[in-house]
Amino acid sequence: MKVIGFGDNIVDRFLDRKVMYPGGNCVNVAVFARRLGVESAYLGVFGSDPLGAFVRDAIDAEGVDTSQCIIRDGLNGVTEIKVVDGDRIFLGWNEGGVTTSHPFALEDEHLKYLASADLVHSSVYSASEPQLPAVRSTGTLVSFDYSSEPERRTDSYLMQTAPYVDLALLSCGNMTVAAVENDLRRVHAAGVSLVVGTRGQSGAMMYDGERFLTQAAAPTDPLRFADTMGCGDAFLAGLVVSLLGSGWSRAYRPPADALQKALARGAESAAAQCYVEGAFGYGRAVEVAAGQSR
């Protein structure tokens, strides 16, 4: 079983802690899948600055393959964050640095590499939308994180991405159940076979075109709580590892009980992530402003 994260990487700089951590949606999913015992890799672009090396070194230390990655001249992506009552508040970023200004362009060798995976994961922060048809053509399953921004839920954006995605993850925050169901239906109708909406402490919901399945959030110990960074990515990693373990493929959709089990596995992974500072550790003290390197 193998999972590849294709797209964004970032340095998360916590201003309140004066600590920076490696992260990024696609990196996190690859790292979390590896921690769940799955072979994994990350395919993306690092900046040539020390922040790029910082992220790559941390990924390598987790046993995630980065051998096919590219280093481009310029700044790595960096975002500024603070934590308020356990929730992360994003204050600004440098637009993803070279990861998004000069994104990864897949060649034949990369497509062969992606074809070795059971699932390739990407996101709205990866500038990977034009590459999705090529990823899909390798035969691997494709998951995609649509995050929470309304512009990523428009008909035009769904038309551009959904036909090439097998599993979509939507961050639905404090949306009503009716609103979540409506968005899940829309994404499914656009071409995605399994659509999941995460709702924080309200749990998660999945739509497979026939039924809605719900999952409560797993309990957490408030005395051990660090922050919510990476919880959605941990949820997705737990979900897809469980689904792949049940035999999920483009030709086989697991039955409802297996889907429910996968949702529960995702909830457990998300709860465990609440005890981790940053996305997956490797914090380093830093005092420079966003967009600068050390």
Which pLDDT score, from 0 to 100, does residue 293 have? Answer: 41
| 15 Cβ contact list (under 8 Å, min separation 6) | 80, 81, 82, 91
CA angle, corner 219, sides to 213 and 224, nearest 5? 145
Tens digit of each residue's pLDDT, the chain (294 residues): 999 999 999 999 988 888 999 999 999 999 999 999 999 999 999 999 999 999 999 999 999 999 999 999 999 999 998 877 767 788 888 888 998 999 999 999 999 999 999 999 999 999 999 999 999 999 999 999 999 999 999 999 999 999 999 999 999 988 999 999 999 999 999 999 999 999 999 999 999 999 999 999 999 999 998 878 899 999 999 999 999 999 999 999 999 999 999 999 999 999 999 999 889 999 999 855 444 443
Contact 26, 92 (CB under 8 A): no
Which pLDDT score, from 0 to 100, does residue 287 have? Answer: 54
* Separation of alpha carbons 113 and 132, rounded Å: 15
Which pLDDT score, from 0 to 100, does residue 289 have? Answer: 47
* Separation of alpha carbons 71 and 235, rounded Å: 29
Q: Tell me how long the chain is.
A: 294
**Closest Cα to residue 21, out of 279, 287, 291?**
279
CA dihedral 176, 157, 13, 55 (to 10 degrees): 130
| 271 Cβ contact list (under 8 Å, min separation 6) | 217, 218, 219, 220
Contact 198, 169 (CB under 8 A): yes
**Closest Cα to residue 4, out of 37, 41, 36, 33?**
41
Helical ranges in the chain per DSSP H = 25-35, 50-61, 98-101, 108-114, 132-137, 155-161, 177-189, 231-245, 256-273
Which pLDDT score, from 0 to 100, does residue 193 have? Answer: 97
Helix (H) or strand (E) segment spanning residue 120: strand 119-123
Contact 92, 65 (CB under 8 A): no
Count of other CB atoms within 10 angstroms of residue 108: 8
* Separation of alpha carbons 188 and 195, rounded Å: 6
Count of other CB atoms within 10 angstroms of residue 260: 15
Confidence (pTM):
0.93
Do β-strands 19-23 and 284-285 pair in parallel, antiparallel, or remain unpaired? antiparallel
DSSP class of residue 130?
A: G
Buried b (16+ CB within 10 A) or exposed e, 66-95: bebbeebebbbbbbbbebeeeebeeeebbe
Between the alpha carbon of residue 125 and those of residues 101, 109, 139, 265, the distances in Å are 11, 24, 23, 25
| 282 Cβ contact list (under 8 Å, min separation 6) | 21, 22, 58, 61
